[in-house]
Chain A
Amino acid sequence: MYRSQHLAVKYFAAAITLFGVMTLTGLMSAYYYLNPEFLFGILPFNIAKILHIDTMVIWLLMGFIASIYWFLPEELGREPAGIRAAEILFYVFCTAVAVVAVVFVFVQYGGSNETALWFINQGRKYVEAPRWAAIGIVVVMVVFAYNVIGTTLAARKTTGIITVLMVDLVPLVVLYLIAFPALSNMSEDLFWWWWLVHLWVEATWEVLIGCIMALALMQLLGTSRRIVEAWLYIEVALVLGTGILGLGHHYFWIGTPDYWLTIGGFFSALEPLPLLGMVVHAVYDAGAKHMRATNRPALYWMMAEAFGNFIGGGVWGFMITLPQVNLYAHGTQWTVSHGHFAFWGAYACGIIAVIYLVLQKTRNLTYVDGLLWRWSFAALNVGLLGMIGALLVSGFAQAFVERAIGGSTLQAFIAGQENAWFIEGMVFRFLLGIVFAAGYVVLVWDLLALGRRVPAVAATSAAE
């Protein structure tokens, strides 16, 4: 195994750990809605939420980085350049995340000054990490970009997939610089902030996961390079063709000109089309192998990726993307329902699939199957579907009561939050969140135990 592949395993372990923190803080955040006295005066809601959303971003980023560290040396036939720096930075990264989290929990906030932004909390959603840590993230990403680009230079060759990845890494890193400024003007702040958030999760991250899935498909199904490359270029063209101006669907209400309602609405309405293509592709691939591959969980998680991406991003997104509906749905639990579903389908499922592929190699398994992965697959997906369903109900109630009827005053907000359907949704969201958490525990169990009970796995594969 290459050194970067050992590093990949470490990054996956860190990613899965943060996935657990995300799940725990998600349960906490959900519980505040049911018991507003929960940790009152000790840990305010916003800190729990910050931990929840920031660990989500970081666990997925770590999953992407890990996936590339895993596939890169085999793609280019050599150890990635600068691997020593990357190995050191892994520990620096994990330590920084821990320090930032501890400060969030125990210090929480400072005064309205630059010192607070540098050392405690920057207070902009998803990028709350203090500036010192944001610099650290830039360093990690720049070294990561060097690991990729430097290796192609040293090898004096590249592949189609790696070229797409390299080109994608440039906006990925540059966009993150938007995490630094503190602009007085909220419209301008949000304008640029959406360049970062949207062009990460609906553009550069889509390309990144596309590259990773291309590499994974070659390994899982033995699909030829030319096919995955052609498909990757088509996917990149369609996703970015709709997603770049689809950025406009965040520019309806922040003080921007109203031509964004037409442009943003139009392009984001087209976004489901490439996702439909991915569904068809997923069925084709599944059929090619009759839903059997040497790695069953990897295949199933990749199917979950294709379908989750379409339904969570495409269907749920389409409900709220047209400005006529968005005017009422905006800033409600309806958005939360979409966000959870889309992130799960677009990214989380794909990373989990790759982890199973990696474990097949590191644990030397010819065939990967078993009972535990099925239980975790079921619990995580049922839990997630239950959560987003419950959030949809709450979101409908909130849009209905608070926005459409009440006009979004404080009283209207309270009326929405106290609506019986809203509350039921919050209760079920919490309960299904527990199911999801149970699925996470079983996932970790399976990842730790996989291949370490060789006789059982061999017996299962023999029975198949």
Chain B
Amino acid sequence: MTEFGLLQTGLLLGLYVLLAGTWGLLYAVARLWSTAIFRGAAAVVYGLHGLTALAIIVRTPLGMGWKCLIVASSLAFLVVPPIAWRFLQHIHENESLEHDRKSSQHSGRVVARL
């Protein structure tokens, strides 16, 4: 790898994950506040993340296996925020449905009798 290729690759990889994180953040905020602007922003950021992934594939000297990993990771980054949000909603909804809120002070729930 050339010295410039090194910096370019490192920066692209960092940007790739940063944009994935920003997409996750904006997705979560959009779900929280239900505003179109954040939904739009989230989509734009994920698009930029996709472009970064494409740049990594086209412009870096990584091997084919690693480029496949980048593509697979992008798909994983796409689904992690919605799955995480839906899961959080689901378990919190179930909590309130079952009226299962306990205070943290005296709630030594027995998992195992010793």
State yes or no: do A and B touch (Cβ within 8 Å): yes
> Which residues of A are at the interface with B, using a C-beta cutoff of 8 A?
74-77, 152-153, 155-160, 163, 215, 218-219, 222, 224-227, 230, 262, 265-266, 269-270, 272-273, 275-277, 279-281, 283-284, 287-288, 310-311, 314-316, 318-320, 322, 324-325, 327-329, 334, 396, 399-401, 403-405
- A222 contacts B104, C-beta separation under 8 Å: yes
Contact with A along B87-99 (1 / 0, CB 8 A): 0100110010000
Report how far A218 CA is from B95 CA in the complex, Å: 14
Interface members, chain B 58-106 (any A CB < 8 Å): 61-63, 65-66, 69, 73, 76-77, 80-81, 84-85, 88, 91-92, 95, 100-106
Residue ranges of B at the interface with A (Cβ–Cβ < 8 Å)? 1-3, 6-7, 9-11, 13-14, 16-18, 20-21, 24-25, 27-29, 32-33, 61-63, 65-66, 69, 73, 76-77, 80-81, 84-85, 88, 91-92, 95, 100-114
Most buried by B among A219, A222, A224: A224
Residue pair A276, B81 in contact (C-beta under 8 Å): yes
Query: B105 to A319, Cβ gap below 8 A?
Result: no
Complex-state Cα separation, A280 to B104, whole angstroms: 23
Please judge, given known A-B contacts A227-B92, A273-B80, whether A322 and B62 are in contact too, CB under 8 Å.
yes
**B39 CB to closest chain A CB, in angstroms?**
14
> Which residues of the other chain, B, contact A283 by a CB distance below 8 angstroms?
25, 28-29, 32
For B76, give the chain A residue with the smallest CB separation. Answer: A273
Partner of B108, one of A75, A230, A325: A75
- Which one, A75, A157, A215, A277, contacts B84 given CB within 8 A? A277
> Secondary structure at chain A's binding surface: helix, strand, loop or mixed?
helix
**A160 in contact with B109 (CB, 8 Å):** yes
Chain B positions within 8 Å of A400 at CB level: 3, 6-7
Report the nearest A residue to B12, measured CB to CB.
Answer: A319
Q: How far is the CB of A290 from chain B (nearest CB, A)?
A: 10
A153 to B113, CA, bound (A): 9
Interchain residue pairs with CB less than 8 A apart (25):
A153-B114, A157-B111, A158-B108, A158-B112, A160-B111, A222-B101, A222-B103, A224-B101, A262-B65, A269-B73, A272-B17, A272-B21, A273-B80, A276-B20, A279-B24, A281-B84, A281-B88, A284-B85, A287-B33, A311-B21, A314-B21, A315-B18, A318-B17, A319-B13, A328-B1
Check B6 against A74 for contact (C-beta < 8 Å).
no
CA of A400 to CA of B2, assembled, Å: 9
A324 to chain B, nearest CB (A): 6
Q: Tell me, in angstroms, the Cα distance from A85 to B65 when the chains sit together.
A: 54
Q: Is the CB of A163 within 8 A of B76?
A: no
In the bound complex, CA of A219 to CA of B104 (Å)? 6
B47 to nearest A CB, angstroms? 17
Instruction: Name the contact of A280 in the complex, choosing from B81, B100, B105 (C-beta under 8 A).
Output: B81
Other than the known A277-B80, A280-B81, A399-B10, what 19 A-B pairs have Cβ atoms closer than 8 Å?
A152-B114, A157-B108, A158-B110, A222-B103, A276-B80, A279-B21, A279-B24, A279-B25, A280-B28, A280-B84, A283-B28, A287-B32, A287-B33, A311-B18, A315-B17, A318-B16, A325-B1, A334-B10, A404-B1
Cβ–Cβ contact A226 & B9, under 8 A:
no
Q: Separation in Å of the B4 CB from the closest CB of chain A?
A: 8
A400–B32 Cα distance when bound, in Å, is 43
